[in-house]
Structure 1
């Protein structure tokens, strides 16, 4: 076993094995399609490495002094192993072939390949984390000339761009909420499972942080963890270097684990038991399975949880480009005349059209406008973000009434409780919730199941690979809208300012709603990571016109 407890031993600066171990050179030709024999591979090294003092050894400028190392084909004398590969591929294909745009996994799903619109992904110029508020990032991206950067397809996430000579082991992909990070992961896995892309990789293990959180109190080896999530790999020895493996950790911003990259614990054996956070940090820095490819996705505010020296490529998902926005609606709406009207309406509002860089907002807009612009619907067409999300909430409430158990929950009680949950967790920075979080807001397990059943496009209950219950709002923007609605209703109906949890004066003095809005502005300005930005837009929408 390779387990060290010396404080003087730091993680390798570049996150790779020590320079004494052979590394591959990467083919920098324009043709980036690898054959099995051409796949770059990093060899394991369990020696203790002192942290480099070279300031140029960063995730972007890092230069490799690697030598050629030809990997062995994955075929084994064990005749059962190819069947394991096929089983894993089949299971992942079934899991990721359908797209559930905010809908719980029931009913008639849409095939991802039928509606998928390529997202605009670029390599970040530096490994620095953008701490600018997410709303400002969306606006900046919408005005940036797309010719300034070279786009990267999600299937090429581990492949160097022409002219690059660095090996890419660990990729960090950042992007604002709803921009398409998880969708890119889904497409990457599906293309692999269908035999279309990245066939040099034999095993892909998608492990979302929302599911890893459920394992935070467990002490298991990496091999045992994988057996929990992927039972079909039980007989495989993943610690050997004969398999090319890729781990995908989606949603770093949802992580509730303590990722201590300066910990004394150093693991090199995949069969050695440890906590989940210890396993993750050692896997990311390259102590465990140094030849494995690592892909991490995150909102910008949480991206620096992984030190830049452990990352070899930083990419940014910018969502839909201008042509891709229109392409989405033409694919999403079968009636092309209606699709044209929807696109024209969105273009008439700069704030709405800017937000269409975000795929989830396109879905919300399509849901609302398809209904509002149809001949059967009458009323004012939403022209602001606040109006758009309010109409979306009303549509989902009307859908609820069509369900068999509509009388179990009153609309107002449901919205208020979900709003309270949304607000409290937003303040804490949480996008996913567990049963203990719900109970703090007066929602018991039975109510949670009812809410997730009634509001399948607002609030969702998921059973992960580990079969633990995870709750979440379909998207952060929906959580922010409900949180703002809760703040507004608490003030109007109950004379409560939730920011202070104090009752408005009743001695004749009146506090205007504008005072509450000003307090919301102050709270948002005090937020360093911008987690209250979109929340602020909703209560002030009627004033600012957004």
Structure 2
């Protein structure tokens, strides 16, 4: 019903519905009205772009395209190359700073930010009104003060994952502490292990979606839409292969009884298009073997 009302052209609505039916995780996300709007607009944008981009199949791919769309929508076409590069540079800096604020906000269960918070993380308040800034950040005016929040908690979790993904490849200290007075932690794999460990130790599961996105960003397909927004080095795919083995090892060590932690590990693997474990867990859940 939403798709038919949202789009004037029934062909687009039909194609989007067909795609959602083929990808269960995206269909489930659409049960949340705000995310349904994000999914529909992002898929429509890709369809109308005239490129040969394949439609996103995972949550990470979808949010990557969403951020890319927000960075491009409203920006004049045909700009001079120098000015376009300046625009990309501005968006890269804004994404990096928003991602850092999103990550440390997530750790503190903080989802609303004031102007002082934005300034502390190097975010230019004027840029919050840019196409990208206004696309991911909502400004809330009150009679006393102005606050900001990301358009949805999952957007905060995704931006946090982009920050961690980029930072973990060069950070020499534990990223889960804003202080540099921590034990050295060098290399992406050590930081990835740390993220999974913190996620599994969090009783309320508030880092579960964050680590799903973090895992999904190891997919070249998910990173491609972000090529103009993230500072990315060369990746030969070894980290993705390693992560799959690492996650499968964690699942194997969990034993035969399915737990909520095992479910999230399976969802992490699904973000890398490894769905066998999730299907197995769904069968176990139908048999009532959830711990």
TM-score range, shorter chain: 0.5 to 0.7
Q: Once the two structures are superposed, what CA deviation does each residue of 1:89-128 show, in whole Å capped at 9, x if it has no partner?
A: xxxxxxxxxxxxxxxxxxxxxxxxxxxxxxxxxxxxxxxx
Other-structure match for 2:157: 480
In structure 2, relative to structure 1, the CA distance for the partners of 1:370 and 1:522 (3 Å cut) is same
CA distance in structure 1 between the aligned counterparts of 2:169 and 2:190, rounded to whole angstroms: 13
1:350, distance to aligned residue in structure 2 (A): 1.6
Residue 375 to residue 499, structure 1, CA distance change in 2 (3 Å)? closer
**1:530 correspondence with 2:208:** no
Q: Does 1:460 align with 2:138?
A: yes
Does 1:438 pair with 2:112? no
Partner of 1:426 in structure 2? 106
1:333–1:521: structure 2 CA closer, same or farther, 3 Å change rule?
same
Is the 8 Å Cα contact of residues 452 and 460 (structure 1) preserved in structure 2?
A: no
Instruction: Please state which structure has a larger fraction of its residues in strand.
Output: 1
Q: Indicate conservation of the 8 Å contact 2:59/2:213, yes or no.
A: yes
Relative to structure 1, the CA distance from residue 375 to residue 426 in structure 2 (aligned partners, 3 Å threshold; closer, same or farther) is closer
- Is the counterpart of residue 364 in structure 1 residue 89 in structure 2? no
Structure 1 residue runs without a partner (length 5+): 1-326, 506-510
2:92 to 408, 412, 436: 412
- Cα drift, residue 483 of structure 1: 0.3
Distance in 1 (alpha carbons) for counterparts of 2:27 and 2:146:
36
Query: Larger radius of gyration, structure 1 or 2?
Result: 1
Question: How far off is 1:440 after superposition?
Answer: 2.6
User: SS in structure 2 opposite 1:518?
Assistant: helix
Report which of the two has the higher share of helix: 2
TM-aligned CA distance change 1:449 to 1:460, over 3 Å: farther
For 1:331 and 1:495, the matched residues in 2 are separated by 51
Q: So what's the TM-score if we normalise by structure 1?
A: 0.36
Post-superposition Cα deviations, 1:173-231, rounded to whole Å, max 9, x if no partner, equal xxxxxxxxxxxxxxxxxxxxxxxxxxxxxxxxxxxxxxxxxxxxxxxxxxxxxxxxxxx
TM-superposed CA distance for 1:436, in Å, is 2.3
Residues 283-362 of structure 1 correspond to what in structure 2 (within 5 A)? 327-362=1-36
Asked whether the equivalents of residues 342 and 370 of structure 1 are also in contact (C-alpha less than 8 Å), the reply is yes
Asked if 1:401 corresponds to 2:64, the answer is no
Q: Is there any run of 5+ residues in structure 2 with no aligned partner, and where?
A: 220-243, 245-268, 272-291
Q: 2:66 aligns with which of 392, 396, 421?
A: 392
Separation of aligned partners in 1, 2:15 and 2:59 = 18
1:545 corresponds to: 270
Distance 2:172 2:53 in 1: 31
